[in-house]
Chains A and B, each alone.
Chain A
Amino acid sequence: MTELQDAARRLLEEGTVQVVIGWEAGRRGARPVFVTDSADCDRLVFDARCVHDLAVFLNPRRSQVAGLGKAAVVVKGCDAKAVAGLLRESQLGRDDVVLIGVRCGGVAAGPDGAEPPALTAETVAARCHGCDVREPAGVDVLVGAPQPEPPVAPTPDERVAALDALSPAERLAFWTAELARCTQCYACRQACPLCYCERCVVEKSEPQWVETSPHARGNFAWHLTRAQHLAGRCVGCGECERACPVGIPLGLINRKLQQVVYQLYGYTVSDDPAVPAPIGAYAVDDTQDFIR
């Protein structure tokens, strides 16, 4: 903890950055905090409550954040993948940001206590299942002691598999029920570190590809588009699902597409910006057994 605070303090005092984006403890779980005064660095925490993917604040279009000056951001391994995504897609220059990596032993699913919850199979977040980046790569500063494996939670794959097992009609029914509740508030988009477009396609009216009326059909159009855009890019941080006010299990869709890009193109989202994303690249011998 102090290691993290010291790192932040040093960066602010040396003037390397003007703001450190991290987490602070709130009454109900942790919350993002923007430290601009080195005196406040002791507010910074990192524990199992720090679920938010702070890479979302690196979107250059978040002028209120950009306005604070050059930022250092605290990242878990999964967050670092999101940063890599932004670098890969030219949304960010590596020198525009300082990355403080924290070794992570997993975060909680719905932390709302004043104290970090003990991680158990019940409390751990689904996204931590089979985590391969508990030590973030490509960061400038790495803090914290090596962490133990997070407890094994029921994996989202099981729920995905259960859906796969249904007939198309049943799946359509399931998703109709889920998506009918969507109000197209776009919280999922705002919470997503990789949904950074200047003008989202849903706001393009000439033509209006995505029906904006919040009925199931319009919502299908929206979530189809969002998922397709995230295929091979989604880092599985789960923020969209966590931000959804009506509790649509968006994580299942993202997870499914992660499986698909892996099965079809052997691709898993990389924390190395140099690794090209699967959509936008191709191999001459890509699978095509679905093509007649």
Chain B
Amino acid sequence: MEASFEPRITAFVCNWCTYTGADLAGTSRLPMASNVRIIRLPCTGRIDHLFVAKAFERGADGVIVSGCHPADCHYTAGNYHARRRFGVFRELLSFLGVDPRRLTFSWVSASEGGKWADVVNETVARVRELGPFDAYHRLADAPVPDGDPFAALESATPRADGAGENEPSGVHASEPGRGRAAATGGSGA
């Protein structure tokens, strides 16, 4: 299966630098892996973290976000804002268990057709290494952990006033590695 595995990469790129850079790669006839599908946006500033999450949700094995180099932004600052948001979002995804190597961020200018080809090929190679990422897509089938999710409520003493009263039994859940994923039980939607 791994042998025949072809990564599916969604690329969100800005219209002025990277998209034009990809055009240049074309006019320069630079061969590159055919696993990338480009979605064109005016500016990296327009690229929302929801796009990335949704792409993974829909079964993308990797995502590329690419735009203008600092100081080259057609809108002067969109890329700076994107850089901040994605600097944070990348860490967040990683913390929740999405391997950051499935995400490529790059600055590719309109004159960097070659760099675009490299970004594409490197990303495809890296993601091929990592294998398919249907894990995220299949999250929908993750079993709900053993027992009734509201067990916590029942185990807690009767409530007097306000939802605030009940200290969640979440503390124990914070011992990392506790293999609840393995637990069986009613499967989700």
The CA of A218 and the CA of B183, in the complex, are separated in Å by 20
Name the A residues within 8 Å of B145 (CB-CB).
177, 180-181
Q: Does B57 contact A (CB under 8 A)?
A: yes
| Interface magnitude class on chain A | 35 or more
B-chain residues with CB within 8 Å of residue A261 when the two chains form the complex: 88
Nearest-neighbour CB distance to chain A for B53, whole angstroms, equals 5
Q: Please tell me if B97 contacts chain A, counting CB pairs below 8 Å.
A: yes
| A210 to B53 CA separation, bound complex (whole angstroms) | 9
CA distance A176 to B85 in the complex (A): 24
Q: Are the CB atoms of A31 and B57 closer together than 8 Å?
A: no
- Cβ–Cβ contact A221 & B57, under 8 A: yes
Task: Tell whether, in the assembled complex, residue A253 and residue B84 are in contact, meaning their CB atoms are under 8 Å apart.
Answer: no
Residues of B within 8 A of A287 (CB): 87
Q: Interface size on B (CB < 8 Å)?
A: 75
Asked whether any CB of chain A lies closer than 8 Å to the CB of B26, the reply is: no
A187, A243, A264: which contacts B88 (Cβ < 8 A)?
A264
Contacting pair A232 B149 (CB below 8 A): no
Task: Give the CA-CA distance A280 to B84 in the complex, in Å.
Answer: 8
Q: Find out whether the CB atom of A231 lies under 8 angstroms from the CB atom of B92.
A: yes
Stretch at the interface among B2-10, B35-43, B162-170: B162-170
Which residues of B have CB within 8 Å of A224? Answer: 49, 53, 92-93, 96
Query: Which of B49, B91, B92, B97 meets A174, CB within 8 Å?
Result: B97
CB closest chain-A residue, reference B70: A284
Q: Are A282 and B84 in contact (CB under 8 A)?
A: yes
Query: Which residues of A are found within 8 Å of B105, using beta-carbon distances?
Result: 290-292
Q: Nearest Cβ in chain B — how far from A241, in angstroms?
A: 6
Report A's interface with B, CB cutoff 8 A: 26-29, 31-32, 51-52, 109-110, 112, 159, 162-166, 168-178, 180-181, 183, 187, 209-211, 213-218, 220-221, 223-225, 227-228, 231-232, 241-249, 252-253, 256-257, 260-261, 264-265, 278-284, 286-288, 290-292
